[in-house]
Structure 1
Amino acid sequence: MFKTNEYFDGNVKSIAFNTETLAATIGVMAVGDYEFGTSQREYMTVTSGQLNVILPGQITAKTFNEGETFIVEANLSFKVSAVVETSYLCKYED
């Protein structure tokens, strides 16, 4: 069954589900700045909108647009800025 998640006072919401191969979430972000931590390797794809992302070990942001994916290894954190309302798909790998 689906599990819903809400973060940052409701500014980020997601629904967890299982794909044929990996656990995943699909979600939305309001315009704003957020920091997330990972417990598993995470593949994050922007499905609409735009995110400026500071990946672990980096000091400058990289822009990811619709259809683009970035990867964050387990047990790290990363920062994102949603410059417009943005939707995303995350897949989690053990």
Structure 2
Amino acid sequence: MPEFINVSVVKKANVYFGGNVTSRTLKFTDGSMKTLGFMLPGEYTFNTADKEIMEILDGDLEVLLPDSDQWQAIKGGETFNVPANAKFTVKINAPTDYCCSFVK
């Protein structure tokens, strides 16, 4: 889906890691939420509360998912899932545009 219709956008940006990772929160009428974001090259560790589906719109990264010791290469057009209440690390190799869907 190239665009979202009938959403509310939270104006204040989510800014992490000194501005190297930013996103904006989208709220849908059914109560679901997503973030649209951008990551600059670097290595970042995140914690989840909800299950997340990370859709990589453009870019090049590696992800180390919970309970794995193998980095997985991800490129634009691919997705990966992160369980709830988990920690995962990404190595961003090229500027990366993403959409994160939160699954309750």
Task: Tell whether 2:95 aligns with 1:79.
Answer: no
Moved over 6 A (4+): none
Aligned Cα root-mean-square deviation (Å): 1.2
Task: Tell whether 2:13 aligns with 1:4.
Answer: yes
Q: Do the aligned partners of residues 17 and 56 (structure 1) sit closer, same or farther apart at CA in structure 2, a change above 3 Å counting? A: same
Unpaired segments ≥5 residues, structure 1: none
Q: Number of paired residues?
A: 94
Normalised TM-score (structure 2): 0.85
Aligned to 1:16: 25
Higher relative contact order (CA 8 A, sep 6+): 1
State the distance in 2 between where 1:57 and 1:25 align.
Answer: 25
Please tell me the residue identity of whatever aligns with 1:75.
Answer: N
Which residues in structure 2 correspond to 1:1-94 (within 5 Å)? 1-2=9-10, 3-19=12-28, 21=30, 22-94=32-104
Unpaired segments ≥5 residues, structure 2: 1-8
Please tell me the residue identity of whatever aligns with 1:32.
Answer: G
State the distance in 2 between where 1:67 and 1:18 align.
Answer: 23
